[in-house]
A = this chain, B = another copy of it.
Amino acid sequence: MSVQAPSSSAATQQQPDLREHVHEAARRARVAARRLGSLPTAVKDRALHAAADEVLAHRDQILAANAEDLTAARDADTPTAMLDRLALNSQRLDGIAAGLRQVAGLADPVGEVMRGYTLRNGLRLRQQRVPLGVVGMIYEGRPNVTVDAFGLTLKSGNAVLLRGSSSAAKSNEALVVALRTALVGEGLPADAVQLLSAADRATVTHLIQARGLVDVAIPRGGAGLIEAVVRDAQVPTIETGVGNCHVYVHEAADLDIAEQILLNSKARRPSVCNAAETLLVDAAIADEAMPRLRNALQDAGVTVHGGGPDGADEADLRREYLSMDIAVAVVDGVDAAIAHINEYGTGHTEAIVTTNLAAAQRFTEQVDAAAVMVNASTAFTDGEQFGFGAEIGISTQKLHARGPMGLPELTSTKWIAWGEGHTRPA
């Protein structure tokens, strides 16, 4: 069912045909993608509901496979937080199936006419959304990404090659069996979703270098994974999700609001990419604001790095903690805050707390990030919150998509011109 040519034992030896194996999967994905690209919305939606049904019908097998992954992970002394990401249970499976049905309810981006006009010579031109084709997803622990990625790529008419973590290999395999069963049941090509072996790191390299076979690679995971993919990729790539996000408390801030935004940005879910990692406080109000915000953080269980006379050190300021830790620094005015953020930030989400309009406008204009918040928590940068219904990741690059990516971000465009023998004058 799922693509599994290299057994884990064979793959740990250097396998000469692993590249060909990945390319072969990509070629099958391309064939499937052509079919998917012109499916009516109703057919895709029916397939999404069928996939939800099959995930629930395969509940026992999926949970048994997940239990195996969890046992292996516990044996390998995996930290609790990662075990939690890996774990499935009946309720989480219900949520995963509900997610598929939710995607079925979203608008189909394919075929949307973006621009269209008739040229002076009578040539009728329109630019339409089309699927990207074959999407390569490289991701870490969470098995729910397997199903989310399938749902979003199917709805947008794309085939997907999944390269998950080896720690979730059995869970992913069981999930993909359910998804492929649903496709076949609907008369659609099973190869629209394929799971690549996670046993060999080289699978990732072959996937992201499959020029002409894979249209886009989307790495989703920690900074190390994303850095490696971007460095080695030869297919177009979308960087996602590394967030060294700042909350900047301007001298004209309402400190009650500052405190609640800071705590929400840091402590609501510290392990996610939109969580705040650095607090910047204006020098003009540092004497009053710093002790108060520091105490509030500490009361919430957050460890504060710096913020005293010496400030946080360079390493703290660069760090994406993803934990109950925060770096603190004092800056001298909005321009210094902007300069600091543009130097240390990762272009994800940056927030200012202020009552001053000019400062807010300057900050939103000059800060170079996917999302800029004025008097609002960094936690809002999220496809669901933005009203997209679902997201495949949060882009921190400027090309193609920036910020949360939903269905339209999984499409490209095509120009179509209708003429009656039109030729171009010399």
Contact = CB atoms under 8 A, between A and B. Distances in A.
Interface of A: 34, 37-38, 117, 119, 123, 125, 127, 132-133, 211, 215-216, 230-231, 234, 236-238, 254, 256-257, 260-261, 263-264, 268-269, 342, 360, 364-366, 368-377, 379-381, 385-387, 397-400, 402-403, 412-424, 426
Closest 5 CB pairs of A and B: A376-B419, A398-B412, A264-B423, A257-B421, A236-B399
Given A380-B422, A400-B399, A234 B231 contact: yes
Most buried by B among A371, A379, A419: A419
A413 B424 CA distance: 34
Contacts of A117: 387
Contact of A418 (B376, B414, B415): B376
A400 to B, nearest CB: 4
B133 A398 contact: yes
Contact of A119 (B234, B385, B419, B422): B385
20 contacts: A37-B366, A38-B366, A125-B386, A127-B403, A236-B399, A260-B421, A261-B422, A268-B424, A374-B418, A374-B419, A375-B420, A376-B418, A376-B421, A379-B423, A380-B419, A380-B422, A381-B415, A399-B400, A399-B412, A403-B415
A402 to B, nearest CB: 5
A421 B133 contact: no
A72 B56 CA distance: 73
Contacts of A123: 376, 380
Contacts of A237: 236
Nearest to A369: B414
Nearest to A373: B417
A264 B414 contact: no
A369 B381 CA distance: 34
B132 A268 contact: no
Given A261-B421, A377-B422, A380-B422, A132 B414 contact: no
Contact of A417 (B133, B342, B371): B371
Contacts of A413: 402-403
A366 B34 contact: yes
Contacts of A403: 127, 413-415
Contacts of A376: 123, 417-419, 421-423
A240 to B, nearest CB: 13
A374 B261 CA distance: 55
Given A231-B234, A268-B423, 13 more contacts: A37-B365, A119-B385, A119-B387, A230-B234, A260-B423, A261-B422, A372-B416, A374-B417, A375-B418, A376-B423, A379-B424, A380-B422, A399-B412
A132 B417 contact: no
Contacts of A254: 421
Contacts of A423: 260-261, 263-264, 268, 376-377, 379
A215 B399 CA distance: 8
Contact of A375 (B119, B269, B419, B424): B419
Contacts of A34: 342, 366, 368
A72 B413 CA distance: 43
A158 to B, nearest CB: 10
Contacts of A263: 423
A345 to B, nearest CB: 11
Contacts of A400: 236, 399-400
A391 to B, nearest CB: 13
A402 B414 contact: yes
